[in-house]
């Protein structure tokens, strides 16, 4: 996984502040579900917008894996695994969705989290029940986020 804070020009032009790149190598769990912490946040952090770009489909060496999904959410006080992006199909055996934007629930403000004990923006991956996420051998997803810490303004 790679996390980038976007340069000022990109922030102004596109409205997103961060870009996270996830690929099949990040899927290490040998079961059918895995949550990955993307960006640590503290109380007062606002997520104003989210979008995804599936740049390469997630496929598996296991032919029985016919679905691979991701949701983007958080683990704040009332955790919500799809607060920012609802379930998105990534597998070519399903009907892959290449682009997705945030649901109406965004913007969201974190009410907990400190520098010593942060909360996280998270990606929740799942695949066909009983299969292994670690068997994926292709796939890349970009996650774009607009994040602001109101305490720092």
Helix intervals (H) in 36-104? none
Rounded Cα–Cα distance for residues 29 and 26 (Å): 9
- CATH code, 2-152: 2.60.120
Q: For the whole model, what pTM was predicted?
A: 0.94
3-state SS, residue 9:
helix
- Residue of 103, 122, 132, 147 whose CA lies nearest to 11: 147
Looking at the chain, the whole-number percentage of residues with pLDDT higher than 90 is 86
The domain segmentation of the chain, as residue ranges, is 2-152
24-71 residue pLDDT tens = 999 999 999 999 999 999 999 999 999 999 999 999 988 888 999 999
Cα separations in angstroms, 60 against 43, 47, 126, 133: 38, 32, 13, 8
User: What phi, psi does 82 have (nearest 5°)?
Assistant: -130, 35
């Amino acid at each position: 996984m790679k996390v980038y804070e976007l340069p000022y020009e990109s922030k102004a032009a596109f409205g997103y502040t961060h870009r996270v790149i996830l690929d099949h190598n990040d899927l290490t769990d040998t079961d059918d579900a895995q949550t990955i912490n993307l960006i640590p946040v503290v109380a007062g952090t606002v997520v104003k917008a989210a979008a995804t770009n599936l740049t390469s489909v997630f496929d598996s060496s296991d032919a029985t894996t016919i679905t691979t999904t991701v949701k983007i959410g958080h683990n704040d006080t009332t955790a919500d695994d799809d607060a920012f992006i609802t379930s998105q199909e990534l597998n070519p055996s399903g009907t892959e969705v290449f682009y997705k934007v945030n649901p109406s629930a965004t913007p969201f403000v974190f009410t907990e989290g400190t520098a010593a004990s942060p909360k996280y923006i998270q990606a929740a991956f799942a695949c066909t029940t009983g299969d292994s996420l670690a068997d994926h051998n292709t796939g890349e997803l970009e996650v774009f986020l607009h994040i602001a810490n109101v305490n720092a303004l």
